[in-house]
Amino acid sequence: MKLDGRGIIITGASQGLGAEIAEACVGEGAHVAICARDAEALDAARVRLVAKAAPGQRIVAQPADVSRPDDVRRLFETASAALPRIDGLVNNAGVYGPKGLLEEVDLNDWWRSIEINLLGVAVACQNALPIFRRQSYGKIVNLSGGGATAPLPRISAYAASKAAVVRLTETLAQETKGAGVDVNAIAPGALNTRLLDEVLASGPERVGADFYERSVKQKKQGGSPLERGAALCVYLLSAASDGITGRLISAVWDPWETMASHRNELHGSDVYTLRRIVPADRNLKWD
């Protein structure tokens, strides 16, 4: 049981990848606190987790909007009261936000996406870090994705916020150096979740013909398995990944199962990070 006895908080866990992560954590012996904005869907997710839990495992659900600091504070208060301890945080809650060219979208909707995708991560980390520092141990897993590693035309709020999440992850890894805290981001792959359905419902006029066609193909082929992203989260929440921090790891493409054997090589390197490329990196001899 990779997470036996550990307490894990998971945001955006009423459906999709968040629900899959919660189930994987429970299956590995963790006590779990979940949150989402939809109270009814959240309670249904709680019932499913309780049905899978072993005797003695604690499952708690707290409705919360991660962009609201008071909601996040109450989530941590509830988790602290209900779970034996808190060892890990998974920042999964996120939205695509407005779709279309930047000059065409409602900037209020654009800003709302940043509040959920970026501020929500920062607020949750701000609540978790004092706990982790006191106990000299903790794990944070932030959900990033393809929007962080390549331009995503017509979904600019999502792309910008997810890139910012990676830089926040790297920064927090530096701030917690020597504190026993690991902070990583993951790219779970192209998932067939409600976000994909949003893209298909928007149509090629709003999201662009290329992205729309890729999404149609993904829908038909099934996309990346949710369980693959959940398994990477379990790994990064477990003792097996102790000392691996400040990285953006792909659930689908990176050999994360054996990453612990490369700890020493990772330390001090820029592998699995976002970095500026200069001409010399591409063998271009510019003055």
pLDDT of 31:
98
Is the domain of 210 the same as that of 248? no
Is the domain of 184 the same as that of 194? no
pLDDT of 206:
84
pLDDT of 202:
86
Residue 181: strand, helix, or coil? strand
d(CA 115, CA 125): 14
The pTM assigned to this predicted structure is 0.94
Q: Is residue 102 part of a domain?
A: yes
Q: Is 272 designated active site?
A: no
Give the number of domains in the chain: 2
Task: Name the one residue in this structure whose structure tokens are 């193909």.
Answer: 217
- Cα atoms in the 13 Å half-sphere on the side-chain side of 17: 34
Is the domain of 141 the same as that of 66? yes
Is the domain of 130 the same as that of 171? yes
CA distances to 22, 155, 236 from 244, rounded to whole Å, are 22, 31, 8
Is the domain of 85 the same as that of 201? no
Please report the DSSP string for 128-178 in residue order: HHHHHHHHT-EEEEEE--HHHHS--TT-HHHHHHHHHHHHHHHHHHHHTTT
Q: Is residue 115 part of a domain?
A: yes
**203 lies in which domain range?**
190-223
Is the domain of 14 the same as that of 103? yes
> Which stretch of 34-38, 152-156, 200-204 has the lowest confidence by average pLDDT?
200-204
Q: Which position among 158, 212, 235, 272 bears the catalytic label?
A: 158
Is the domain of 113 the same as that of 248? yes
205, 223, 241 — which closes off a domain? 223
Is the domain of 15 the same as that of 91? yes
d(CA 225, CA 247): 21
Is the domain of 139 the same as that of 230? yes
Per DSSP, what are the bridge partners of residue 226?
none
Asked whether the beta carbons of 78 and 60 are under 8 A apart, the reply is: yes
Q: How confident is the model at residue 283 (pLDDT cuts 50, 70, 90)?
A: very high
Q: How far apart are the first and last CA of the chain?
A: 56
CATH number for position 171: 3.40.50.720
> Which stretch of 160-174, 192-206, 260-274 has the lowest confidence by average pLDDT?
192-206
Strands in 138-143's sheet, in edge-to-edge order, are 59-61, 31-34, 7-10, 88-91, 138-143, 181-187, 248-250
Q: How confident is the model at residue 118 (pLDDT cuts 50, 70, 90)?
A: very high
Average pLDDT over residues 246-255: 94
Q: How confident is the model at residue 240 (pLDDT cuts 50, 70, 90)?
A: very high
Report the 10 Å Cβ neighbour count for 42. Answer: 22
Is the domain of 121 the same as that of 244? yes
pLDDT in tens, 134-182: 999 999 999 997 778 888 999 999 999 999 999 999 999 999 999 999 9
d(CA 287, CA 280): 10
Q: Is residue 139 part of a domain?
A: yes
Element (H, E) at 33: strand 31-34
